[in-house]
Amino acid sequence: MFSLKGQLAIVTGGGTGLGFAMASCLAASGARVVIVGRRLETLEEAAAKLGPSVNAEQHDVRDLDAANTFMARIEERYGAPGILINNAGVHVKKPIEDHTVDDFRRVMATHVEGAFAMTRAIVPLMKRAGDGRILFITSMTAFVGLPDIVAYSTAKSAYMGMVRSLAAELGPSNIRVNAIAPGWIETPMLHQALDRDPERQQRILRRTPQARFGSPEDIGWAAVFLCSPAASFISGCVLPVDGGASIGL
């Protein structure tokens, strides 16, 4: 019930971080995976590490007009994709006074517009196949207010509406739409933010009921579950994978 054998998955932002971990777990569960991003060299290095069932394809999700062409290329080269994970993103951390309109637009263009364009392009392929799973990677910042990341929080919160609307619209076509909201996960970005701030690190751990950071694979296996037959009656769900941080006191 947890096998993804025979499935083709697309993971945007799949060359590093959580995208890499999700691609690894999907491949381990039997899926063929196409990792997508702007930097071809990074993607090819990641694909070589992930194994023969993973391929790299260069594409910038902000190029909205190219999404349909990209999906057609994927179908021609690999077959019809049954899984899309909208993971690509950028991060800006600044006080609101320094957060420019261009900063805000850049974050929204990658997260919201990019994910919308990729989803819009893949839905006809999934409808033709009579099956599909679309997964958005949101964030605990959609539940918990954190300072200095207004654009990021806004973009991740927008995913909540996209998931619910699309789940309602696409359910009759047997296309499930869900999201994962990661908490504090051990990535290079986390260490960059916290290694020089032990007081903040301890504050985060104190409010996390499991009293630890998550691993990238925690997100990867959650993605496998939501894309697998075991989750066949789950749609419109936003699953926190945060050790309880979004409810911890």
Triad 49, 191, 184: Cα angle to 5°: 90
Residue 159 is a catalytic residue: no
The residue behind tokens 């600044």 is 94
Which phi and psi angles does 83 have, rounded to 5°?
Answer: -135, 135
Strands (E), the chain: 8-12, 32-37, 54-58, 83-86, 132-137, 175-182, 238-241
Phi-psi region of 46 (alpha: psi -120 to 50; beta: other; left: phi over 0): alpha
Which phi and psi angles does 35 have, rounded to 5°?
Answer: -95, 140
What does the block give as tokens for 194? 């916290």
Q: Diameter of the chain by CA atoms? A: 53
Distance CA 27, CA 38 (A): 21
Catalytic residue among 20, 70, 152, 213: 152
Return the active site residues: 152
